[in-house]
Structure 1
């Protein structure tokens, strides 16, 4: 099954929102989806465990990276049907723990190989190209890049594309990429220009589905619901449902 890093070095582009709602869309479709929270802010963990007591670090990725537990022993079954590998603020210490150790970037890849997930794996990355994100990229065979409809996000995806190209050379393999435009408002001229620029530059790597700006997408995690349960007829559910279907049809999750 596919391992997908959801990554952009810019914050606020809907990485966590996309990981959360795509993982739950897959679970609703009967897939045994995994979601790995590689961000010490632990927002994906909060979204998938809303209303539950905070997790102890010993049950999260912290224990895995500290070599206390194998990855398969820190997987949580969630009420939304997604298998969560949770994060914790203590995960921030991993960067300093490993430093420049090149082997540290392969830890997640090895952990997943041992765990043998029986469904697609989505990794919510932190917005920095450090040890944690490199772990995700080395483990992944695909990258989904959310890009909000603004100039700074456009520049960030150009830099990220160059970084992935350099990483592909180091790994001696290719990483399949898809770009999804998020927080899109078709009434704004700049949003339309950014979308056109992305299509001109990256062609079919840009998803046809665009995620429109939607307040309900920000509301749903605090209620312990994905967008499909929170507002199933709203634009957020329509867009993430369409995106999941588009990626499934293209084989991106297989």
Structure 2
């Protein structure tokens, strides 16, 4: 499986941080992942210091005026990145094109032979439940759900589960994995939330915990990933373990045979 949608309807759970650093962990292994910013807030695009107009963003793809490949910005870290723009929010308002846009990402990834290339594709989804979010979920092979180690985030995970259940009317159930983020070891709330997640979603909660660390926030503030900013930190170790666990569970594979853009 190669297409991972990082999704949660609740904001502030560290979705963008997880997407960015998981992509960085993959790139650190010599593989060029494709990372797509599918959030109109464009936090990931801003983090990388990319200032672009809507015509050079993923919004252009949803307008049907560009391929994904033509929008790719190669980053120094080895990540192939498709930026977002505030205009992407207009897609959810285009009622007459909802059907086309819901399937556009999946069809585009297939048509450009990206989803079958063996290269990991990570989508940083919008938390707004609409056409753009649904298009990412339909395109994904696996749904990765970051859950902050707090009670409100747990409620959000339960609501999200009901939403994903509703999607099964249109597609068969896709693998999903919950990753506990902003975890403080031995803190009562954090341990309680992690325990309840495992009870509610048996077999779907990853063993890896992303610990709460200042280094992660500082890395984002500097426009960097944790491996470049603090390679010896616990946070870097956590994201290394996260990637290892996904690989060991056959949820992602790292292929070095087809670098992005190769013939």
How does the TM-score come out when normalised to structure 2?
0.91
User: Following the alignment from structure 1 to structure 2, what is the Cα–Cα distance between the partners of residues 245 and 158?
Assistant: 26
Asked whether 1:150 is paired with 2:156, we answer no
Secondary structure of the structure 2 residue equivalent to 1:147: strand
- Give the RMSD, CA atoms, in angstroms: 1.5
Alignment pair present for 1:235 and 2:242: no
Alignment partner, residue 83 of structure 1: 80
Q: Indicate yes or no: 2:24 matched with 1:24.
A: yes
Structure 2: give runs of 5+ residues left out of the alignment. Answer: 254-263
Matched residue, 1:253: 252
Q: What corresponds to 1:43 in structure 2?
A: 43
Mapping for residues 157-168 of structure 1, pairs under 5 Å: 157-168=157-168
Number of aligned residue pairs: give it: 250
Cα distance between partner residues in 2 of 1:95 and 1:191: 35
Distance in 2, matches of 1:4 and 1:99, equals: 28
Of residues 40, 45, 60, the one that matches 1:63 is: 60
Normalized per residue, the structure richer in helix is 1
Among 110, 115, 128, the residue aligned to 1:113: 110
Partner of 1:211: 210
C-alpha separation between the residues in 2 aligned to 1:175 and 1:30? Answer: 28
Residue 178 of structure 2 is matched in structure 1 by 179
Unaligned runs of 5+ in 1: none
State whether structure 2 residue 221 is matched by structure 1 residue 222.
yes
**TM-score, length of structure 1 as denominator length:** 0.94
SS of 2:164's equivalent in the other structure is helix
State the Cα distance separating 1:189 from its structure 2 match.
Answer: 0.7
